[in-house]
Amino acid sequence: MHPVILAIESSCDDTSAAVLAGGEIRSNVVATQQVHEQYGGVVPELASRAHQQHLIPVVEAALQKAGIRKQDLDAVAFTQGPGLLGSLLVGGMFAKTLALALGKPLIAVNHMRAHILAHFIDAPRPVFPFLCLTVSGGHTQLVVVRSALDMEIIGQTIDDAAGEAFDKTAKLLGLPYPGGPHLDKLARAGNPTRFPFPVGAMPGYDFSFSGLKTAVLYFLKKETAQNPTFIQENLPDLCASIQHTIIQTLLRQLRRAAHDQGLTQIALAGGVAANSGLRQALQDEAQAQGWQVFIPAFQYCTDNAGMVAMTAQFQYQAGDFADQLVSSDPRLKLA
């Protein structure tokens, strides 16, 4: 059963709409928001206003690109949470109104589940069960994925997420927002072992990155007090060393969880999955451990409606529909 689904994603600062038909993503349109750059981070009120401006043009573009009429839809899906409440409400209210007007079923999708199920958009696809490391600006999780609708978080960050660690340390280095991609690019020309920073060592499978941020802050204060141009003179090595530390923190817990759970199929999801250093380190680790690694295409790593549509197809097939009373939930749990 391959329904025709329009999906909407508006959890943070990207407005996206996608159409899935015949089991394939026919369109995946994303409008980014440039307004936040001058503030060095996402401003929730500005994000929700931008969603209001972008949503209708994005939906129209997705339908047109897919060659699908609104009347041809079998369901309308949207991101219920987690995310910014105002942003979620914009996408959720639009989806509910459209579904009601068309007389079509409504599907409420968990954003973190969608990141994981983005692996099923294109081949190769993992086979259940598998272990997924989800790394994004707001979340870092280790998830045992038993089926499309049966997932268990076995480890997560207790403070900053990996994406936050990238962006906050990049800001300390004077890099523009969002800092993660800039740090990744500069790190390619640097020495990853020149400046040793502490690897967060948490019990079990949890993560911690706040200690790294503090260590980098005090290290830079000390060095720039002696040499005001220290950051500029050592920027590639600093970026490489910070990135190396974040990656080693992630791999340390991933390695432990994979061994304890007896899983060799490993998936990487979330916006930070686009980081070239992490991708390469995971491939190297896979060779050493005998893992089979799965990473979605770049456009399905960052926030997008394609992954929401794919998740909605699984829910449609399971008869998992929402009614008009469903509420957006900024702290929606995966389980």
Inter-axis angle of helices 179-187 and 162-172, nearest 10 = 80
Q: Work out the number of other CB atoms within 10 angstroms of the CB of residue 254.
A: 23
| Residues flagged as binding site | 111, 115, 134-138, 167, 180, 184, 275, 303
Is residue 273 within 8 Å of 231, Cβ to Cβ? no
pLDDT in tens, the chain (335 residues): 689 999 999 998 899 999 999 999 999 999 987 766 766 777 888 889 989 999 999 999 999 999 999 999 999 999 999 999 999 999 999 999 999 999 999 999 999 999 999 999 999 999 999 999 999 878 899 999 999 999 999 999 999 899 999 999 999 999 998 899 999 999 999 999 999 998 877 889 999 998 999 999 999 999 999 999 999 999 999 999 999 999 999 999 999 999 999 999 999 999 899 899 999 999 999 999 999 999 999 999 999 999 999 999 999 999 999 999 999 999 999 86
Is residue 153 within 8 Å of 251, Cβ to Cβ? no
| Residues flagged as binding site for Fe cation | 111, 115, 303
Is residue 292 within 8 Å of 264, Cβ to Cβ? yes
| Residues flagged as binding site for substrate | 134-138, 167, 180, 184, 275
Nearest one of 319, 280, 267 to 116, comparing CA atoms: 267
Provide CB contacts within 8 A for 19, sequence distance 6+: 4, 5, 6, 7, 25, 26, 27, 62, 63, 65, 66, 68, 309
Whether the full predicted model's pTM is greater than 0.85, yes or no, is yes
Residue 169 parent element (H or E): helix 162-172
The three-state secondary structure class of 127 is coil
pLDDT, residue 321, reads 98
